[in-house]
Chains A and B, each alone.
Chain A
Amino acid sequence: MRQSYGDQEPVKLPAKLPSSLWLWLLPAVFLLVFFFQPLAAIFGRVGNQTIVEGIRGFNIARIGQTLGFTFYQALLSMLLTLVLGLPAAYVFARFDFPGKKLLRTLTTIPFILPTVVVAASINTLIGPNGWLNMLLMRLFSLDTAPIQFINSLGAILVAHVFYNLSVVIRLVGTAWAQLDNRLVQAARVLGASSRKAFLEISLPLLAPVILSASMLVFMFDFTSFGVVLLLGGPQNATLEVEIYSQAMYFLNLPMAGALSVIQLAVTFLIMLVYTRLGKKSTSTRPQADTLRRPASKQAKAFVAVIVIALVVAQVLPLVSLASRSFTRLEAARGERGEVQTGLTLDYYRQLFVNQRQSIFYVPPATAIRNSVYFGLITVLIATSLGTLAAFALNKPGKANRWMDPVMMLPMGTSAVTLGLGFILVFNKPPIDLRTFPILLPIAHSLVAMPFVIRTMKPAIASIPANIRQAAAVLGASPLRVWREVDLPLISRAVAVSALFSFTISLGEFGATSFLTRPEMPTIPVAIYRYLSQPGAANYGQAMAMATILMLVCALAVLLIEWLDSSALLRN
Chain B
Amino acid sequence: MLEVKNITKSYEGKPLLKGLSFTVEKGQTVCLLGASGSGKSTLLRIIAGIETQESGSVLWDGRDISQVPVHERGFGLMFQDYALFPHRNVFDNVAFGLKMKGISHEDARRRVNEVLEMVSMTGFSRRKVTDLSGGEQQRVALARALAPNPKLLMFDEPLGALDRTLREQVLHDLRDLLHATHIPAIYVTHDQEEAFSIGHKVILTNEGVIVQQGKPEEVYKQPATAWVARFLGQDNLVAGVVKGMDPVIVSTPLGDLQVGRSCCDELHPGCEVTLLIPPSSIQPAVEGINVVPGRVEDVIFKGQVNQVVFRSGDFSLQFASTSAFTEGETIQISLDPRELLCLEKESM
Contact = CB atoms under 8 A, between A and B. Distances in A.
B81 A475 contact: no
Given A4-B80, A14-B49, A489 B86 contact: yes
B231 interface: no
Interface in A5-24: 5-9, 11-12, 14
Contact of B83 (A8, A11, A469, A481): A469
A488 B87 contact: yes
Contact of B50 (A4, A7, A14, A467): A14
B96 A466 contact: no
Interface in B38-72: 38, 41-42, 45, 48-51, 69-72
B74 A475 contact: yes
Nearest to B37: A7
Given A473-B71, A475-B100, A11 B50 contact: yes
B278 interface: no
A4 B86 contact: no
Contact of B12 (A9, A11, A467, A480): A9
Contact of B100 (A7, A469, A474, A489): A474
B148 A474 contact: yes
Given A5-B80, A8-B41, A477 B71 contact: yes
A470 interface: yes
Q: Which of B49, B72, B79 has the most CB of A within 10 A?
A: B79
Contact of A4 (B11, B38, B77, B79): B79
Interface string A474-489: 1111101100110011
Contacts of B73: 473
Contacts of B45: 8, 11, 469
B97 interface: yes
A464 interface: yes
Contacts of B91: none
A489 B50 CA distance: 21
A467 B11 CA distance: 22
Chain B, interface size: which category?
35 or more
Contacts of A464: 83
Contact of A474 (B37, B42, B97): B97
Chain A, interface size: which category?
20 to 34
A471 to B, nearest CB: 7
B70 A473 contact: yes
A472 interface: yes
Nearest to B35: A7
A239 B36 CA distance: 59
Interface in A435-481: 464, 466-467, 469-478, 480-481
A473 B11 contact: no
A467 B79 CA distance: 9
Given A8-B41, A11-B45, A474 B96 contact: yes
Given A11-B50, A488-B87, A475 B80 contact: no
Nearest to A5: B41
Contacts of A476: 71, 96, 100
A469 B84 CA distance: 11
A475 B45 CA distance: 15
Interface string B20-38: 0000000000000000111
B81 A466 contact: yes
Contacts of A470: 77, 79, 83-85, 144
B75 interface: yes
Interface string A489-509: 100000000000000000000
B215 interface: no
B148 A475 contact: yes
A473 B77 contact: yes
Contacts of B100: 471, 474-476, 480
A194 B85 CA distance: 45
A10 B77 CA distance: 18
Contacts of A489: 86-87
Contacts of A480: 71, 100
B221 interface: no
B172 interface: no
Given A9-B12, A466-B79, A473 B87 contact: no
A469 B96 CA distance: 13
B101 interface: yes
B126 to A, nearest CB: 18
Interface string A1-44: 00011111101101000000000000000000000000000000
Contacts of B81: 4, 466
B148 to A, nearest CB: 7
A474 B16 CA distance: 27
Contact of A11 (B51, B75, B76): B51
Interface in B138-180: 144, 148
Q: Which of A14, A480, A481, A488 has the most CB of B within 10 A?
A: A14
Contacts of B76: 473-474
A476 B50 CA distance: 12
A473 B148 CA distance: 11
A331 B108 CA distance: 75
Nearest to A475: B100
A473 B42 contact: no
B50 A472 contact: yes
Contacts of A4: 79-81, 83
Interface of A: 4-9, 11-12, 14, 464, 466-467, 469-478, 480-481, 484-485, 488-489
The 6 A-B residue pairs with the shortest CB-CB distance, nearest first, are: A475-B100, A474-B97, A7-B37, A466-B83, A470-B83, A472-B70
Given A467-B86, A470-B83, 15 more contacts: A8-B45, A14-B70, A466-B79, A466-B81, A469-B83, A470-B77, A473-B50, A473-B73, A474-B71, A474-B96, A474-B97, A476-B100, A478-B71, A484-B85, A489-B87
